Structure 1
Amino acid sequence: MVASSPRTAGQNVRRLAFRRRLQSWQAFLAAAGLPVLVVFMFPVLAIGLGFIAAIVIVAIAAFGAMGFIFRGLDLWQAANRAVQGARAEENVAKTLQELEPQGWSFEYGMRLDEGLGDADVICFSPQKKTYVIDVKSHKGTVIFQDHRLQRRMGRTIYGFKKDFLQIVMKQALQVRDKKKLDFVTPLLVFTRAQLAVSHKKIRGVYVIGQADLVAKLQELG
């Protein structure tokens, strides 16, 4: 049996969320500190450069502070998305616990190369088969259109920013090579979205909801 994972589910993403939260606070502090510094230095600037030049510098500092604020807000939202993703990975891990008494084992957060991030979950079955799961926490209804997964929100269809099918396939191939395995099956698991896609492979990838994950793995063996 494969040894237990050195990482817990969602650990890498929670660390990312912490870094983004810290960076956002740094941006907010810079936004607050820059105008204060310039106002404090205003008399010196006015004497040395002239009143008009000092006013211009204050205005530039104000615009700079706004830039830091927007940067901080973007980082804060990115941290929120990372936390959401971590919770999704943790929920999938809880779901998979049902398979452990049956001889399944799991590895979480394996680092990958070539900009692929990490493999959220690697599953090892009692039949010596291996699976890679990429967890997604998007809402809406997932459809397959124009040879890509897309998301329907109400009557509007949005394309995902990334080609999830291609990414998880590349993850599976890299895990196969790194672990020197014969074959690794990729699965894309949505934890919150409704699925309006085939239960068969789509471009070589199984696309399923979290509620169907255990049954699908048991079916595949």
Structure 2
Amino acid sequence: MSIKTKKPGEYIRKLARKRTRSAMIRYFLAGGVSIATVWLFIIFSTSSAAILILLAGIGGSYYLCRSGRYFQKRALDAQRGAKAETDVADLLDVLELKKWHIEYNLRIQKWGDADIVLHSPKGKWYVVDVKSHGGTKIAENGRLRRRYGKNIYDFREGDLIHKVKGQAKEVRLLKSASWVTAILCFTRGGVNIAGDEINDVYVVSDGKLVDILLQLDK
């Protein structure tokens, strides 16, 4: 029976709700600042302080709205990430039928949480970090990057290869495993990497995840 102490995407859904609350609080404060600014401007309209009040109020409202939009965007990113984890979990149902043990959102010491940890019937361990970034993922000088048309960009989160290798190391210690294979799985865009591997980390699309796991487990 699979060890599912948490549901797929549970951690990141909580993060999405937290970011949404942060956005709404900032929008509410921006509205309050705007109302207070108008009220004070009317009261001090005959004073030289009126212009300062108006400028300060406009600046404060703009800052709060901009901060709210930032948190709203980050909340949408988290919601998309949670959906990606759930979609990948659905794909892994076939492995459960084959007696694989699967854990979701496993808390680890340094890297927050591991999206998916798998233990095969043959005793092999795998950690899968699920990502929903667009663009075609490519390898360039040993680094993972993404391509949109002719333009190539780094990932905003930094070195994803280093991160998932760190997760694999933490899971290896936590599970007392001799080795944990690290996998990056992308649910959007394409993956164009020779051999599906960069620096001992497998990088695949979600449609290839089950196949690569079964292949590695032979």
SS in 2 for 1:199: helix
Q: Distance in 2 between matches of 1:111 and 1:174?
A: 10
Q: Distance in 2 between matches of 1:196 and 1:220?
A: 19
The reply on whether 1:110 has 2:106 as its aligned counterpart is: yes
Q: Would the aligned equivalents of 2:126 and 2:180 in 1 still touch at CA under 8 Å?
A: yes
SS in 1 for 2:137: strand
Q: Would the aligned equivalents of 2:142 and 2:198 in 1 still touch at CA under 8 Å?
A: no
> What does 1:126-145 align with in structure 2 at a 5 Å threshold?
126-145=121-140
Q: Distance in 2 between matches of 1:201 and 1:139?
A: 19
Query: Aligned residue for 2:190?
Result: 194
Q: Distance in 2 between matches of 1:137 and 1:200?
A: 17
Q: Distance in 2 between matches of 1:199 and 1:92?
A: 21
Q: Would the aligned equivalents of 2:40 and 2:53 in 1 still touch at CA under 8 Å?
A: no
Query: Aligned residue for 1:6?
Result: 5
Q: Distance in 1 between matches of 2:41 and 2:108?
A: 51
Shift of 1:192: 1.3
TM-score normalised by L of structure 2: 0.94
Task: Return structure 1 stretches of 4+ with deviation > 4 angstroms.
Answer: none
Which among 207, 214, 221 is matched to residue 210 of structure 2? 214
Q: Would the aligned equivalents of 2:143 and 2:198 in 1 still touch at CA under 8 Å?
A: no
Shift of 1:43: 5.5
The code of the aligned residue for 1:141 comes to T
Q: Distance in 1 between matches of 2:18 and 2:12?
A: 10
| Worse-superposed segment, 175-184 or 95-104 | 175-184
The code of the aligned residue for 1:74 comes to Y
SS in 2 for 1:186: strand
The code of the aligned residue for 1:34 comes to V
Q: Distance in 1 between matches of 2:196 and 2:55?
A: 60
The count of residues paired between Structure 1 and Structure 2 equals 216
Shift of 1:207: 0.9
The reply on whether 1:30 has 2:34 as its aligned counterpart is: no
The reply on whether 1:147 has 2:147 as its aligned counterpart is: no
After superposition, the C-alpha distances for 1:99-135 in whole angstroms (9 at most, x for unaligned) are 1111101100012233x22100000100111100001
TM-score normalised by L of structure 1: 0.92
Q: Distance in 2 between matches of 1:205 and 1:171?
A: 11
Structure 2: give runs of 5+ residues left out of the alignment: none
Which among 90, 93, 96 is matched to residue 97 of structure 1? 93
SS in 2 for 1:57: helix
Q: Distance in 2 between matches of 1:136 and 1:43?
A: 51
SS in 2 for 1:88: helix
CA RMSD of aligned residues (A): 1.6
Query: Aligned residue for 2:50?
Result: 54
